[in-house]
Amino acid sequence: MTNVSAPLAPVDSSAERRLLIRVRDAAKVYPAVATTAQRWKLVRRLLTGSGAVEGYAALQNVSFDVRAGQSVALIGENGAGKSTLLKLIAGVSQPTGGVVEVNARVGALLELGAGFNPEYSGRENIALACALHGLNRDETQAREAGIIDFADIGMHIDQPVKHYSSGMVVRLGFAVATALKPDVMIADEVLAVGDEAFQRKCSRWVESYLADGGTLLLCSHVMYHVQKLCTQAIWLERGRVRMTGPAASVVQAYLAWQDAREAPRAETPSAVAEASAASYRFTRFHAQTSGDQPITVEHGAALHVHGEAYSPDGRVPTVAIALVKRDGSGVFATSTEVDHHALVRSGDDHFGFSLRFDPVTLLPGEYSLRGHVLDPEALRVTDTAEIPLAVKGGQRYLGVVKVPYEWD
The pTM for the full model equals: 0.65
Residues of the chain with pLDDT > 90: what percent? 38
pLDDT for 306 equals 93
Residues in the chain: 408
CATH class of 1-104+211-263: alpha beta
The CATH topology of domain 281-392 is: Coagulation Factor XIII; Chain A, domain 1 (2.70.50)
Q: If you write DSSP's letter for every residue of 127-154 in order, what string do you get?
A: HHHHHHTT--HHHHHHHHHHHHHHH--G
Degrees to nearest 5, angle at CA 124 with 121 and 127: 155
Q: What is the mean pLDDT of residues 100-127?
A: 84
Residue ranges, comma separated, of all CATH 2.70.50.60 domains in the chain are 281-392
Q: Where in the chain is the domain with CATH 3.40.50.300?
A: 1-104+211-263
Residue 372 β-bridge partners: 320, 384
Calpha distance 349→361 (Å, rounded): 35
- Dump pLDDT digits (tens) for 293-349: 558 889 999 999 999 999 998 999 999 999 998 777 889 999 999 999 999 998 889
Q: Residue 190, SS3?
A: helix
Q: Tens of pLDDT along 227-270?
A: 888 999 999 999 999 999 998 888 878 877 876 676 544 444 44
